[in-house]
Structure 1
């Protein structure tokens, strides 16, 4: 898994320099799909959250759990959305960047701030800052083929 992640980051680094304009139509479509994810978390809708993933999408959450494929992602999220301690609190997207990779690939990097989330023992988790790296591929429309979520933590305290 680490090997795949390192390869993904390496290739993304190679292609990020290939910056070109993204059409308004494409950026609007992609941003709407990110908005659907954010809405799905608010309303606990795993079907909406997984809607734009490809059937072979690679998904890794902030805790290192990995799934392959739209149906596996939806099934996993349906379990997550039932965990009250995870779903406590509120999220706000604080940034969104689209980077042209190729004619049919766009990397989207977004950050989300979440407050009020709890741990499994019902104690406060504290404010979380997560970064989402989503690779979109264009077929008949834009779909997510890879999604990596990273969680910012303090090095000194190992807390969020």
Structure 2
């Protein structure tokens, strides 16, 4: 996406028509299930969910001026992506997610370290994503994040 969005709504409004509905639905699922304390914003040019400086003043270690990132969603060239930092940092969460995924999708899981790629945008497992989002509070993410820095 070449447009630099200022708000999540701006991000969605500038998507190709085919991507607006799935990104909007994914955003709503996250907002409906996200534990209290996370904040929605534009982060790294994507829709992001972060731990605000009010809860974690240290911010992100590579740039403390930025809030601590947790989840991002984006419309990429060939897929819709969900970036979940907690999956990368918490092995039990990763194992849970990879075990649950086949129960929610007929397609093979396409995943990198934190990036879950949905190439079949009509088959995004929204229910599973909603459950994944509930699995870590901001306080749990801060502890997990700090432990990964050691």
State the TM-score, normalized to the length of structure 2.
0.32
Greater helix percent: which structure? 2
> Which has the larger strand fraction?
1
Question: 1 or 2 for the larger relative contact order (CA 8 Å, sep ≥6)?
Answer: 2
Q: TM-score if structure 1 supplies the norm length?
A: 0.31
Larger Rg: 1
